Amino acid sequence: MTSLQAAFAAAKAEGRAALIGYLPAGFPTVDAGIAAIEVMVEAGVDIVEVGLPYTDPLMDGPTIQAAVEAALRAGITTADVLRTVEASARTGAASLLMSYWNPLEHYGVAEVTKALVAGGAAGVITPDLIPDEAGPWIEATDAVGLDRVFLVAPSSTDARIDLTAKASTGFVYAASTMGVTGARSSVSNRAEELVARVRRFTDRPVAVGLGVSTGAQAAEVARFADGVIVGSALVRCLLDARTPDEGLEALQTLAAELAAGVRGDTSAT
């Protein structure tokens, strides 16, 4: 059992969904980003997604794009990203890299998978890579025991969901809405239907992302999903802060609210 699979199993044993938090590496700085991850985990995040900043983030909404662009302007490198993933793994949370395919291919699939495993990473989410075009990636991740996470959407056919579920070894990422990432006032009512469709083809965990921003929404998604993914709302805590300390305080508050939500306690939301 990998550390990612163990995180889902531990949450299930507690009768709840796992909380998955995303932050891009290098924002506001590399070291400040690592400190933010540490705060997030201390507040109750079970699984961390570390984003690899990329110049053409097709699926990222304006909040994440702004943070990614700041990291790129500051000169973030792949080595910095790998260091961030390693630091995230040291917190004890299952830690994933989230990356578009081009940077992984450019770095070298064998090289990046080996580096990730050496740093304690649990797996990789590849939002723009589909399983039927992922032969070299599947081979490389299998070789080192790194979990793969592919995405499905409400528009996915049953055949596509089946293929994606079979190729995913960590969990299946169910994108609850069509379009780019971003916090929303409500979670798509298609999310529950999508999770049910995925479960027809796999017994692996299914986690829902795109739109969750409050503890109440986290609790809503946790009723039917194995994992609740939050990205833009957490990034916004750092993006809107006047000072680094203020950003960490806001991040801690929101992460704790979300953690309470997946545990069924929405009294503070």
What pLDDT score was predicted for residue 56?
Answer: 76
State the pLDDT at residue 265. 78
Interatomic CA distance for residues 112 and 115, integer angstroms: 5
What is the Cα–Cα distance from 137 to 82, expressed in whole angstroms?
18
C-alpha to C-alpha distance for 218 and 187, rounded to whole angstroms: 9
DSSP letter at 180 equals S
User: Where in the sequence numbering do the catalytic residues fall?
Assistant: 49, 60
Q: How far apart are CA 20 and CA 242, in angstroms?
A: 26
Strand boundaries in 33-146, DSSP class E: 47-51, 94-98, 123-125
Say if CB 256 and CB 39 are below 8 A apart.
Answer: no
Query: How confident is the model at residue 223, as a pLDDT?
Result: 95
Tokens standing for residue 107? 């770095």
pLDDT of the residue at 41: 98
Q: What is the pLDDT of residue 210?
A: 75
pTM given for the model: 0.93
Q: Domains in the chain and their CATH numbers?
A: 3-262 (3.20.20.70)
| pLDDT value of position 178 | 41
Contact between residue 94 and residue 124 where contact means Cβ atoms under 8 Å apart: no
| pLDDT at residue number 1 | 83
DSSP collapsed to 3 states, 64-93: HHHHHHHHHHCCCCHHHHHHHHHHHHHCCC
Tokens of 70: 């700041």
Q: Averaged in consecutive runs of 10 residues, what is the pLDDT profile of the chain (269 residues)?
A: 94 97 97 98 98 81 91 95 98 97 95 97 96 96 97 95 97 74 53 95 94 92 96 96 96 98 75
Structure tokens at 99: 């990356």
